[in-house]
């Protein structure tokens, strides 16, 4: 009975539009995690399995997720973590340290960040350590559970992994991977990088301690699949409060995706790049034209958005320059130099 009541809820159009904008903007701008990973099920299963082995069975692992920009590496990892943390035991025990190559530009800063994220500032206090390895060993020792028999499993996520490889001596990488190889504590090291040749950047001693496990996210979508995904991205789910509005919206999206000119735009986008980040740019432009008076996305919006996205920046700037080169009709033989033209103009 209650379900039926929910279905009959009708919100005023303004409210609907606001809700719609919220949902879609979170999807496009904030990269909200999808319910189920689409197109990367195998990789997701692989990653989840690996993380579970560390978290539950105490096995140390290292892994690299490699894919071009916008391929969905962070999304994949976050989905896997979300699914992993649904288990209560894991949630209680697993320690997470998230490092980013852009932020932690130095090993010293990285170590401070690790200390902070493990909440061990008080324990470390003012101790002075001889080397990085000592410091790390101390931290991991401090993570041992109450009965001193086993350590808590720790997950180290290294975003922009290739930037860590540029640190001096690659100390952090060496030590983390060393810990993951020796039996000190169950540690999982997951690196995310956009460089496909990241293995070349690692030193020999670091490379040998790495397990050479890589998850590649290279998209192999065909155009019909791409189109379906676009439709799915723009559609509203059942969770939307006003079901009637959601139905209307979804059907308008379906019409849009069948429109010829919109399809051309999507095809061009597909040939340009199959990752969804550049698509989101296009869709944000379309979305910003949705108002209360016009609660649909029309093909004209898509065309206009495409024009904005694909305009040539240099040509635009050239238009504003004050020299109008009136080309001679046989201008292919035009050997005039720029200072000469300057004199001619003035």
Name the site residues for another protein (rule: CB under 8 A). Answer: 18, 21-22, 25-26, 28-31, 68-69, 74, 100-106, 109, 112-113, 116, 162-163, 194-195, 277-278, 281, 284-285, 288-289, 291, 308-309, 311, 313-314, 316-317, 319-322, 324, 335-337, 339-340, 343, 345-346
CB of 317 to another protein, least distance (A): 6
**Nearer Cβ to another protein, position 216 or 308?**
308
Nearest-approach distance from CB 183 to another protein, in angstroms: 31
Dihedral angle sign, alpha carbons of residues 206, 210, 216, 217: negative
Sign of CA dihedral 184, 163, 277, 212: negative
Alpha-carbon gap, residue 139 to 154, rounded angstroms: 11
Question: Residue 342, CB half-sphere, CA atoms under 13 Å: how many?
Answer: 3
Q: At its nearest, how many Å lie between another protein and the CB of residue 322?
A: 5
User: Which DSSP string do the residues of 255-295 spell out, in sequence order?
Assistant: HHHH-HHHHHHHHHHHHH--SHHHHHHHHHHHHTT--SS--
Minimal distance, residue 182 CB to another protein, in Å: 28
122: buried, middle or exposed (CB in 10 Å: 19+, 13-18, 0-12)? exposed
Least separation in angstroms between residue 141's CB and another protein is: 25
Residue (of 298, 98, 71) closest to 188 by Cα position: 98
Smallest gap from Cβ 125 to another protein, in A, equals: 18
Name the minimum Å distance from CB 275 to another protein. 10
Which residue lies nearer to another protein by CB, 232 or 308? 308
DSSP 210: S
CA-CA distances (angstroms) from residue 122 to 43, 59, 328?
A: 39, 28, 77
Whose tokens are 């919220």? That residue is 22
Minimum CB distance to another protein, residue 23 (Å): 9
Please identify, using beta-carbon distances, which residue of 89 and 312 lies nearer to another protein. Answer: 312
37 or 67: whose CB is closer to another protein? 67
DSSP per residue over 214-231, as a string? EEE------HHHHHHHHH
> Distance between CA atoms of 48 and 111, rounded to whole angstroms?
27
Indicate the residue among 86 and 337 with the shorter CB distance to another protein. 337
Report in angstroms how near the CB of residue 321 gets to another protein at its nearest: 8
Structure tokens given for 260: 């010829």
Residue 42 or 216: which CB sits closer to another protein? 216
The secondary structure element, H or E, covering residue 62 is: strand 61-66
Task: Report the residue number, 247 or 345, with the smaller CB distance to another protein.
Answer: 345
Q: How far apart are alpha carbons 14 and 18 in whole angstroms?
A: 6
Our CB check for another protein shows the closer of 112 and 244 to be 112
Alpha helices (runs of H) in 2-154, residue ranges in sequence order: 2-7, 13-28, 41-57, 73-84, 88-93, 107-117, 121-124, 132-142
In angstroms, the CA 171 to CA 174 distance is 5
Cβ proximity to another protein: between 218 and 308 the closer is 308
Geometric angle at alpha carbon 329, from 326 and 331, rounded to 5°: 80
* φ and ψ at residue 294, rounded to 5 degrees: -135, 80
């Amino acid at each position: 009975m209650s379900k039926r009541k929910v279905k009959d809820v009708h919100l005023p159009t303004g409210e609907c539009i606001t809700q719609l904008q919220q949902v879609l903007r979170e999807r496009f701008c904030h990269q909200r995690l999808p319910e189920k990973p689409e197109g990367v099920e195998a990789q997701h299963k692989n990653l989840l399995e690996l993380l579970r082995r560390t978290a539950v069975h105490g096995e140390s692992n290292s892994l690299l997720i490699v894919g071009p920009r916008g391929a969905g590496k962070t999304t994949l990892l976050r989905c896997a973590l979300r699914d992993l943390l649904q288990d209560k035991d894991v949630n209680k025990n697993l320690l997470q340290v998230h490092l980013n190559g852009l932020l932690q530009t130095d090993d010293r800063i990285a170590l401070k960040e690790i200390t902070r994220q493990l909440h061990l500032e008080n324990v470390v206090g003012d101790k002075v350590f001889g080397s990085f390895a000592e410091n790390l060993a101390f931290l991991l020792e401090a993570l041992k559970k109450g009965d001193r028999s086993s350590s808590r499993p720790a997950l180290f996520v290294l975003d922009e992994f290739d930037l860590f490889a540029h640190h001096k001596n690659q100390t952090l990488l060496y030590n983390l991977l060393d810990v993951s190889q020796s039996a000190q504590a169950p540690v999982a090291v997951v690196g995310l990088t956009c460089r496909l040749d990241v293995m070349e950047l690692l030193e020999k001693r670091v490379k040998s301690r790495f397990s050479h496990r890589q998850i590649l996210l290279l998209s192999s979508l065909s155009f019909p699949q791409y189109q379906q995904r676009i439709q799915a991205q723009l559609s509203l789910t059942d969770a939307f409060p006003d079901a009637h509005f959601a139905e209307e919206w979804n059907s308008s999206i379906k019409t849009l995706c069948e429109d010829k000119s919109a399809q051309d735009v999507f095809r061009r986008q597909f040939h340009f790049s199959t990752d969804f980040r550049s698509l989101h740019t296009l869709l944000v432009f379309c979305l910003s034209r949705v108002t209360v008076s016009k609660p649909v996305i029309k093909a004209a919006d898509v065309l206009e958005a495409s024009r904005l996205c694909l305009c040539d920046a240099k040509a635009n700037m050239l238009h504003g320059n004050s020299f109008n080169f009136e080309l001679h009709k046989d201008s292919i033989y035009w050997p005039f130099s720029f200072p000469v033209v300057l004199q001619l103009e003035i």
